[in-house]
């Protein structure tokens, strides 16, 4: 691989308009948790698919790496190349046009990859529709990055991951070929599924430049409740009961543990907590009913039945959208509380639903044998996806735990793997978890991934070092 050195940048200047060349400000070389710092590199922001293709063709000819950059919000270093020859950082920030306005009849919206997620949501809402992808970073994250990482978030239980929300994509392949797959069709069985191959490939097989997105009906009637349960097993029983009562209208089912409530008390004392004593476990659930349904009444019926069945010992059903927002604030403030405390290690894991109670029990026991961690286990229980983050005891610094961080993560990921789970449920592999993919990935899968990577990107220019460790 060659560096994007001044002569190469001069060559690019002969190919592309001056507006494509951006000041390489620090933001392009940092990521939210400060774990990766990029090598200095030129930053280019093409305005059209043709300009992206010209840039990629030039990089491929010169064997210069390309690091795609969306909103910069990824949590596994997929957007940051920390070492090696300087790549070109390819930012999608100037490609944010609406190619085809939100259409409430077709329930489709076609946008360019650089559109901010919140703007995508707003365009759907403009015509009374919902684009359900929703993340903490939605005000800055870009849809192309969401697709390239197959982002998850808060509404996966009902609507699926980013992959499930996309009908078609346009992409530039590693040799500069444009893949025109921007279909608005719901059914199209004419060849290999390149769309899903590029979605979640983290920019290692090409650059997604535009996408046709699925829109959904706005649930007319939404309401939220917070229920206290004895255990994760009881939470899963509650989920089953909730499905009996409310069918597929459950749009969120989030676990919050005692540690999470304690963190909020410590660092956000003004945030009103609904229970006198922080519960051991609680579940935040939201129903979104269409037609004439009454979500609050359904949640109250669920509360009654769950209490009768001994699944729920306390709870609160919101009676207004303001109360609903206050309950959500508890869940959504947990990451900020985590950040203030400073985690030793964080894990974005998924498990088969039935394995979750056993995992929570046995993994915490194994970790306790290593050190007196505080474990904040919370997240998208309905999807089997937990954020399982380790913190030092109150009053201690995380730095003291530097030497056992890797060991702790190995314990967590070994337990997850033994229970048929995943070491990365929604954040992806990036550069942080390439080792985990080598360790836990199926050999047949790795073999096929390498063959596909070599076939589509023989020079290895696309996001070098992400997803697949280099040197293989």
Binding of a second copy by 451 (CB under 8 A): yes
Question: Site size for a second copy, by CB under 8 A?
Answer: 91
Taking CB under 8 A as the rule, does residue 428 contact a second copy?
yes
Contact window for a second copy (CB under 8 A) among 38-46, 105-113, 114-122, 315-323: 105-113
Q: For residues 466 and 449, is the Cβ–Cβ distance under 8 A?
A: no
Among 3, 9, 353, 371, binds a second copy (CB under 8 A): 353
Nearer to a second copy, 21 or 440 (CB): 440
Element (H, E) at 156: helix 156-159
Rounded to whole angstroms, the Cα distance separating 111 from 92 reads: 12
* From candidates 178, 329, 366, 370, binder to a second copy by CB under 8 A: 178
Residue 112 or 436 having the CB closest to a second copy: 436
Q: Looking at beta carbons only, is 274 or 293 nearer to a second copy?
A: 293
CB of 257 to a second copy, least distance (A): 19
The number of beta carbons lying within 10 Å of the beta carbon of residue 37 is 14
- The C-alpha atoms of residue 196 and residue 150 are separated, in whole angstroms, by 9
**Min. distance of Cβ 117 from a second copy in angstroms?**
17
d(CA 213, CA 462): 25
438 binds a second copy (CB under 8 A): no
DSSP secondary structure letters along 42-98: -EE--SSHHHHHHHHHHHHHHTB-EEEESSS--SSSTT---SSS--EEEE-TT---E
Instruction: Based on the shown chain and the rule CB under 8 A, indicate whether residue 136 belongs to the binding site for a second copy.
Output: no
CA distance 200 to 102: 24
Of residues 332 through 351, those in contact with a second copy by CB under 8 A are 350-351
Among 7, 17, 352, 393, interactor with a second copy by CB under 8 A: 352
CA angle 89, 426, 137 (to 5 degrees): 60
Say what the alpha-carbon torsion angle 359, 364, 369, 371 is, to the nearest 10 degrees.
Answer: 140
Question: Please, which residue, 290 or 362, has the CB nearer to a second copy?
Answer: 290
CB of 138 to a second copy, least distance (A): 18
Element (H, E) at 217: strand 216-217
Burial class (CB in 10 A: 0-12, 13-18, 19+), 371: middle
User: Contact between 173 and a second copy (CB under 8 A)?
Assistant: yes
Taking CB under 8 A as the rule, does residue 384 contact a second copy?
yes
What CA–CA distance (Å, rounded) separates 450 from 373?
A: 38
Q: Binding a second copy by CB under 8 A: which of 331, 387, 431, 433?
A: 433
| Closest CB to a second copy among residues 43, 110 | 110
Backbone angles phi and psi of 434, in degrees to 5: -65, -35
When the beta carbons of 33 and 100 are compared against a second copy, the nearer one is 100
Among 284, 424, 431, 465, binds a second copy (CB under 8 A): 424
| 15 contacts 55 by C-beta, under 8 angstroms | yes
Alpha carbon distance 249, 220 (integer Å): 11
Binding residues for a second copy restricted to 272-291, rule: CB under 8 A: 289-291
149 binds a second copy, rule: CB under 8 A = yes
Stretch that binds a second copy, among 32-40, 119-127, 217-225, 321-329 (CB under 8 A): 217-225
Question: Is residue 152 near a second copy by the rule CB under 8 A?
Answer: yes
| 21 binds a second copy per the rule CB under 8 A | no
Smallest separation, CB 63 to a second copy (Å): 18
Distance set, CA 397 to CA 21, 41, 402 (Å): 42, 35, 10
Q: Which of residues 227-256 bind a second copy (CB under 8 A)?
A: 236, 240, 243, 245-249
Full strand arrangement of the beta sheet holding 178-181? 98-103, 108-112, 207-214, 166-172, 178-181
- Residue 124 binding a second copy, by CB under 8 A: no
Q: What is the CA radius of gyration of the chain?
A: 23
Report the residue from 2, 48, 177, 280 that binds a second copy according to the rule CB under 8 A: 177
Nearer to a second copy, 307 or 353 (CB): 353
Under the criterion CB under 8 A, does residue 57 sit at the interface with a second copy? no
């Amino acid at each position: 691989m060659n560096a994007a050195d001044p002569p190469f940048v001069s060559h690019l200047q002969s190919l592309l308009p001056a507006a494509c060349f951006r000041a390489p400000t620090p933001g392009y070389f940092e990521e939210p948790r400060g774990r990766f710092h990029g090598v200095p590199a030129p930053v280019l922001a093409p305005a059209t698919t043709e300009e992206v293709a010209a840039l990629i063709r030039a990089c491929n000819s010169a064997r210069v790496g390309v690091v795609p950059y969306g909103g910069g919000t990824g949590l596994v270093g997929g957007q940051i190349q920390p070492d090696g020859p300087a790549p070109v950082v390819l930012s999608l920030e100037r490609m944010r046009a609406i190619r085809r306005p939100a259409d409430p009849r077709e329930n489709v919206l076609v946008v360019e990859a650089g559109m901010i997620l919140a703007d995508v949501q707003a365009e759907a809402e403009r015509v009374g529709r919902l684009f359900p992808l929703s993340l903490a970073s939605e005000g800055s994250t870009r849809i192309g990055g969401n697709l390239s990482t197959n982002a998850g978030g808060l509404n996966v239980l009902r609507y699926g991951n980013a992959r499930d929300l996309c009908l078609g994509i346009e992409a530039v392949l590693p040799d500069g070929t444009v893949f025109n797959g921007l279909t608005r069709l719901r059914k199209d069985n004419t060849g290999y599924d390149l769309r899903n191959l590029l979605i979640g490939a983290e920019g290692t097989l090409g650059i997604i430049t535009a996408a046709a997105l699925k829109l959904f009906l706005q649930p007319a009637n939404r309401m939220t409740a917070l229920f206290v349960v004895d255990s994760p097993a009881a939470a899963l029983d509650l989920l089953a009961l909730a499905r009996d009562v409310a069918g597929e209208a459950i749009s969120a089912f989030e676990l919050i543990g005692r540690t999470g409530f304690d963190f909020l008390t410590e660092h956000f004392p003004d945030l009103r907590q609904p229970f006198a004593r922080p519960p051991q476990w609680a579940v935040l659930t939201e129903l979104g009913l269409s037609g004439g349904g009454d979500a609050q009444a359904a949640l109250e019926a669920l509360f009654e039945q769950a209490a009768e069945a001994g699944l729920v010992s306390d709870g609160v059903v919101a009676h207004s959208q303001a109360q609903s927002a206050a309950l959500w604030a508890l869940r959504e403030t947990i990451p900020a509380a985590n950040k203030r405390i400073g985690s030793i290690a964080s894990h974005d894991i998924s498990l088969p639903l039935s394995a979750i109670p056993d995992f929570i029990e046995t993994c915490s026991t194994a970790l306790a044998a290593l050190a007196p961690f505080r474990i904040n286990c919370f997240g998208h229980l309905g999807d089997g996806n937990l954020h399982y983050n380790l913190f030092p005891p109150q009053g201690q610094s995380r730095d003291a735990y530097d030497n056992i961080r890797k060991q702790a993560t190995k314990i967590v990921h070994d337990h997850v793997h033994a229970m048929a789970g995943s070491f990365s449920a929604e954040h992806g592999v990036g550069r942080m978890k390439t080792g985990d993919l080598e360790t836990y990935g199926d050999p047949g899968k790795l073999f096929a991934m390498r063959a596909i990577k070599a076939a589509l990107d023989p020079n290895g220019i696309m996001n070098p070092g992400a997803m697949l460790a280099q040197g293989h």
